Structures are given as structure tokens and as C-alpha cells.
Amino acid sequence: MVSDLLHHLDTHKSMGSDGIHPRVLRELVEVLTKPLSIIYQQSWLTGEVPVDWRLANVTPIHKKGRKEDPGNYRPVTLTLVPGKVMEQIILSDIMQHVQDNQVIRSSQHGFMKGRSSLTNLISFYDKVTRLVDEGKAVDVVYIDFSDI
């Protein structure tokens, strides 16, 4: 898994504070796979993450509008590439557990890979249409929590 993740690193992403670009790790995949695998396994067993991997540089990136307005910036967090790879391993394990144990209901669309607000709307539309076709009453209430 480590080798595969290193092979597929996005070389267009930024490097972390260590100055090591993702391209370097990608080019040295054969050399780095074993030592990184050992570090990841040790980290998993002990529950400890190397200190440098927990540090991040937050850089404000201008979105649009006046550059003088702080609200027109979004924060981008730059972390070390080996830490990002470890995050992907952990994410993969968590998602496998979630799928194997049906932790999240099939009706959940937000924050799920392959699902979105569009798939949620399609599912909702299908359910409402089915209920109407069966002659059942359908009541819908919309609440916009963003203004509360």
C-alpha cells in the first residue's frame, strides 16, 4: 500500500516545511517504501506520530475580491508529505471498517465518496415520487440553518 501511495503522489502539490517535494518521494519509491512502512507500522502500534508530521504551515490564499479584505482569503495547510501518506493509509483503514461494518447508513450522502448533494436530491426525488405513486401523503419541510 505504501509503495502504491508513493507512486501516485501528486507532483503538482506543495512540499511541506521540510522542503521535500512530492516528486522526490515519488522518484525514490523503491528506496523509501520499506523504511516508511516500518515508521507507519510503529506509529500505528504505539499511537504516536512523529512530531514533525503533526506540524503544519498555514498559508492564506487569496480567493477573490479585494486583497485588503481578510475575508477574501482561505487558509491552506501545508504538512509533510510522509504525514499525508500516513493520513491516506488511516483513511483507507477507517473507510474499510465503515463499509465492512455498515457503520454509515446508505441514506448518508454528505462526506461520502461517490455521493453528493446531487445524489441526495435524486434519492429524495425517487422516494417522494414512489410515495406519490402509491397515493400516500408527502410533507416536506425545508430549513436553512445557515442563517440561524
Whether 32 and 91 map to the same domain: the answer is yes
β strands within 24-65, DSSP E:
57-62
What mean pLDDT comes out for the span 65-70?
Answer: 92
Using the structure block, give the residue that is written with the C-alpha cell 503538482.
12
User: How many domains does the chain divide into?
Assistant: 2
Contact 17, 57 (CB under 8 A): yes
Q: Is residue 107 part of a domain?
A: no
Query: 13: helix, coil or strand?
Result: coil
- Residue 124: domain span: 117-147
Whether 60 and 127 map to the same domain: the answer is no
Distances in Å between the Cα of 56 and the Cα atoms of 74, 81, 83, 117 are: 15, 11, 10, 31
Whether 16 and 62 map to the same domain: the answer is yes
Query: 74: helix, coil or strand?
Result: strand
Whether 65 and 133 map to the same domain: the answer is no
Q: Is residue 33 part of a domain?
A: yes
What pTM value is reported for the model? Answer: 0.69
Whether 75 and 6 map to the same domain: the answer is yes
Q: Specify the pLDDT at position 30.
A: 94
Q: Which residue has the higher pLDDT, 116 or 111?
A: 116
Confidence of residue 39 (pLDDT cuts 50, 70, 90): very high
Whether 93 and 121 map to the same domain: the answer is no
Whether 85 and 122 map to the same domain: the answer is no
Whether 32 and 65 map to the same domain: the answer is yes
pLDDT at 147 over 70: no
User: 88 CB contacts (<8 Å, ≥6 apart)?
Assistant: 5
Sign of CA dihedral 62, 66, 70, 71: negative
